[in-house]
Structure 1
């Protein structure tokens, strides 16, 4: 009798655990679902927010580069998801970049989405001398970028705006400052007429 009781108890416990396991697996499937790129009929799904790089915690030229790479990753993430919180948190001033982020948010808030347009950073050139980079110093950079072809859809799925892929790309200029243990972009704007300085 005792053996039967133990077996029954074990069976119930196993059933409960199995039930919990199924529930956990279902939750994991929902939260760890594979990312899906945007299409002409639906926005991207399950896109992970870019993770930070350890170099970003350093007030060095390499730290500034790592931070600016991250900012463009956040812009790409924002264009795919409409989530601009992390992007805005990386900015301090930078009016053009803030306005662009708010435009992206507005598209998604209105039920629309963006297909493509992700900025591909070709190079980040820190134009401030490396030995001058330190906490509290304004660090300038130039960033050649090749964005993908861009299409913006409204809630009804109609095309609102398109921009073709331009192999020549464009140029961004940036100013970043390291303060209180973190970098912030105080200026980040597309400056298509700017040219990279000649290298010796």
Structure 2
């Protein structure tokens, strides 16, 4: 009788341990919600921040281009979400870019949003000679950009501003510096009349 009882207890204990093991297994990670683009009735949702590029760690023309491409990805993210932290972290005295980012953040904080307008980079031309690009050196660049058509809305959904798509695009001028292991933009502003150097 004692043997049967011991066997029964062992079975119960084993079942309990098995149940505990099942309960303690981590649940399958839930998939991130799919991103939803903005519309005329609602802002974008679940937009992921852009990732950095390994080339950005180089004090070289390639590093400057990779950094500036990332800055424009962050500008697009700022337009779609109002988030400014990562974009502002790349700027150091670039007043026009800072003011634009903060204005977009204020629009979202007030309940408004932006549809379109993302700046699509066509070309980044580092105009500082390649052999002069080094740490703590100011590096100049021109960026040709094709922004999407742009519409901004207030919290009630009323249109505040519109800009049509311009196939000619525009040009930004930039000045960037690599220091203490990272690039910063000290100047970044739309300069549509800037001349692209001949190849």
Structure-1-length-normalised TM-score? 0.91
2: distance between equivalents of 1:114 and 1:131? 41
Match of 1:90 in 2: 90
2:9 maps to which of 2, 5, 13:
2
- Post-superposition offset of 1:116: 0.6
Structure 1 stretches of at least 4 aligned residues deviating more than 3 Å after TM superposition: none
2:4 corresponds to which residue?
A: none
Q: Secondary structure at the match of 1:189?
A: strand
Pairwise mapping of residues 57-72 of structure 1 onto structure 2 (< 5 A)? 57-72=57-72
CA distance, structure 2, for counterparts of residue 162 and residue 58 of structure 1: 39
Classify the secondary structure of the residue corresponding to 2:100: helix
**Partners of 1:184 and 1:168 in 2: CA distance:** 28
Q: How many angstroms apart in 2 are the aligned matches of 1:116 and 1:84?
A: 17
1:104, 1:42 → 2: CA distance? 15
| CA displacement at 1:11 relative to structure 2 | 5.5
Determine whether 1:124 maps to 2:124: yes
Q: Secondary structure at the match of 2:102?
A: helix
**CA displacement at 1:188 relative to structure 2:** 0.3
Kindly provide the CA deviation profile for residues 70-106 of structure 1, in whole angstroms up to 9, marking residues without a partner as x.
0000000111111011000000001100110111101
C-alpha RMSD of the superposition: 1.5
Give, in whole Å, the separation in 1 of the partners of 2:23 and 2:62: 52
Gaps of 5+ in 2: 1-7
Q: Distance in 2 between matches of 1:11 and 1:129?
A: 68
> For residues 38-117 of structure 1, what are the structure 2 equivalents within 5 Å?
38-117=38-117
Using structure 2 for the length normalisation, give the TM-score. Answer: 0.91
Of the two, which has the highest radius of gyration? 2
Q: Give the counterpart of 1:16 among 5, 8, 23.
A: 23
- State how many pairs are aligned: 192
**Cα offset, 1:194, TM superposition:** 0.9
